Chain A
């Protein structure tokens, strides 16, 4: 995926501009930056949920079929009555053409994803009764059903405790190792530098794109994360 001089925003109101970067198959890119720098807006633009204001996004052939998206938790999902199985299965819909009902193939796909995320024991549990970490695993499994090419995650560990956070990062790492391109918005710069191979920094005064090594040596590393950034760089 190639993003060139992209400007994003709502209703002609520019949130972030002049964003340029490239993602290749199997990359692990973390998008970091200040609040309000336009990270989520950029992600929604890449997903095609909002139109770009200027610039271009060129998708590779394998990315056109669809993107697995793990959004920030919405209000709607908090009390939604649905089982884990129902939710994961819904990830397979996009690949079904005009067929109205799930076949054995979709069910097998969902089962595999549920097992990979290690939540088979919860398959009949209701989503609204799950813990934060379990919910994220369900949404990861659903995204795995939608595509094995590219996955976009919007702050997947927000509000989770350290142990669960680490487990989740490991799972995402595993998904990435299996060949899925991962683009993730993160507040956790330390983890981003540990797990990712590329960093996109969005700031109000300009942005940076490069490998983790390049980022550590750039001036953005210091201005953005005074405390933990130095630790991670040491």
Chain B
């Protein structure tokens, strides 16, 4: 406890917690749509593309990696989620191909054109998040806050339409709803969340933030609104507890957060079964 009190005196710890909470909140909201539409795997693929872009950006020596990572990830998301089920690259094998290619080329670039002395350390922290979240400066935190608030606002305003498009895209379109537009907005938001989440848990584990809260809350709640609200709460809870634990016990940050998510899923699964029986 004393250790934590000491930590909270540092601004970078507070920054990390703010970013953690916001990323957890955003990813869980959109996670509901991704999981229910059977798009979980796309989130995973996107995070690897973001990793590749991140490597490329650091090799080129951009001062702000986001300038390259964000557009590339958004473009890929739009490409993968674009309307029309006949998209050229939609099968799971194709997405797997895209994601390993990005991983491999990213790592290759980092290794061949190494600009820092500790390549494997850099790669590891991009993949698993590590403590790079503690090195965020004020500008980065501000960018994260602005983007997160934009994501949350968009989500709240589009909540009913997102529900309609998630539940039944064909009906929504036939009844006159511009479902393509919402599909596009979903793609952009997901890309933003994944890039933001890379700072927290790294690109390998970001899918956990997207998938776990939704799956956990689906075990307990039977309404769409219930699932959305519960997954937001569970996600923030797991992330905060995970962050605090990793600070106190010096465990790897991303892995600790995901560990909490796994634990939460098990608790929800058992609770859900108990609730249904009684």
With CB as the reference atom, state the residue of chain A lying closest to B156: A100
A-B contact count (CB 8 A): 103
Q: Are B160 and A87 in contact (CB under 8 A)?
A: no
With CB as the reference atom, state the residue of chain B lying closest to A64: B176
* A38 CB-CB contact with B under 8 Å: no
* B132 CB-CB contact with A under 8 Å: no
Question: Across the interface, which residues of B come within 8 angstroms of A129, CB to CB?
Answer: 222
Query: Which applies to chain A's interface (DSSP): helix, strand, loop or mixed?
Result: mixed
Q: Are A90 and B160 in contact (CB under 8 A)?
A: yes
- CB contact list, B156-170 vs A, under 8 A: 156-161, 163-164, 166-168, 170
CB distance from A144 to the nearest CB of B (A): 11
Segment touching B, from A23-31, A65-73, A172-180, A219-227: A65-73
* A62 CB-CB contact with B under 8 Å: no
Instruction: Among B37, B38, B159, B226, point to the contact of A81 (Cβ < 8 A).
Output: B226
Question: Across the interface, which residues of B come within 8 angstroms of A171, CB to CB?
Answer: none
With CB as the reference atom, state the residue of chain B lying closest to A44: B170
Question: Across the interface, which residues of B come within 8 angstroms of A11, CB to CB?
Answer: 86
Question: Across the interface, which residues of A come within 8 angstroms of B183, CB to CB?
Answer: none
What does the 1/0 interface line of B157-199 toward A look like (CB < 8 Å)?
1111101101110111111110000000000000000000000
With CB as the reference atom, state the residue of chain B lying closest to A86: B224
Q: Are A69 and B175 in contact (CB under 8 A)?
A: yes
Q: Are A83 and B223 in contact (CB under 8 A)?
A: yes
Q: Are B160 and A101 in contact (CB under 8 A)?
A: yes
Q: Are A81 and B177 in contact (CB under 8 A)?
A: no
* B40 CB-CB contact with A under 8 Å: no
* A91 CB-CB contact with B under 8 Å: yes
With CB as the reference atom, state the residue of chain A lying closest to B220: A81
Query: Which applies to chain B's interface (DSSP): helix, strand, loop or mixed?
Result: helix
Q: How long is the Cα–Cα vector from A10 to B85 in the complex, in angstroms?
A: 11
Question: Across the interface, which residues of A come within 8 angstroms of B158, CB to CB?
Answer: 100
* A111 CB-CB contact with B under 8 Å: no
Question: Across the interface, which residues of A come within 8 angstroms of B160, CB to CB?
Answer: 89-90, 93, 100-102
CB distance from A69 to the nearest CB of B (A): 4
* A234 CB-CB contact with B under 8 Å: no
Question: Across the interface, which residues of B come within 8 angstroms of A161, CB to CB?
Answer: none
Chain A interface residue count, Cβ-Cβ cutoff 8 angstroms? 42
- The listed residue with most A CB atoms (<10 A of its CB), out of B38, B171, B177, B223, is B171
* A128 CB-CB contact with B under 8 Å: yes
* B246 CB-CB contact with A under 8 Å: no
Q: Are A126 and B223 in contact (CB under 8 A)?
A: yes
Q: Are A82 and B167 in contact (CB under 8 A)?
A: yes
Instruction: Among A47, A86, A93, A100, point to the contact of B225 (Cβ < 8 A).
Output: A86
* B221 CB-CB contact with A under 8 Å: yes
- CB contact list, A79-132 vs B, under 8 A: 79-83, 86-87, 89-91, 93-95, 100-102, 126, 128-129
* B266 CB-CB contact with A under 8 Å: no
What does the 1/0 interface line of B225-248 toward A look like (CB < 8 Å)?
111000000000000000000000
- CB contact list, B20-57 vs A, under 8 A: 36-38
Q: Are A83 and B224 in contact (CB under 8 A)?
A: yes
Q: Are B37 and A76 in contact (CB under 8 A)?
A: yes
* A75 CB-CB contact with B under 8 Å: yes
The residues of A with any CB-CB pair to B shorter than 8 Å are 10-11, 44, 47-49, 65-71, 74-77, 79-83, 86-87, 89-91, 93-95, 100-102, 126, 128-129, 139, 142-143, 146-147, 152
Pairs of residues from A and B, 5 with the lowest C-beta to C-beta distance, nearest first: A66-B176, A126-B222, A146-B175, A69-B174, A94-B176
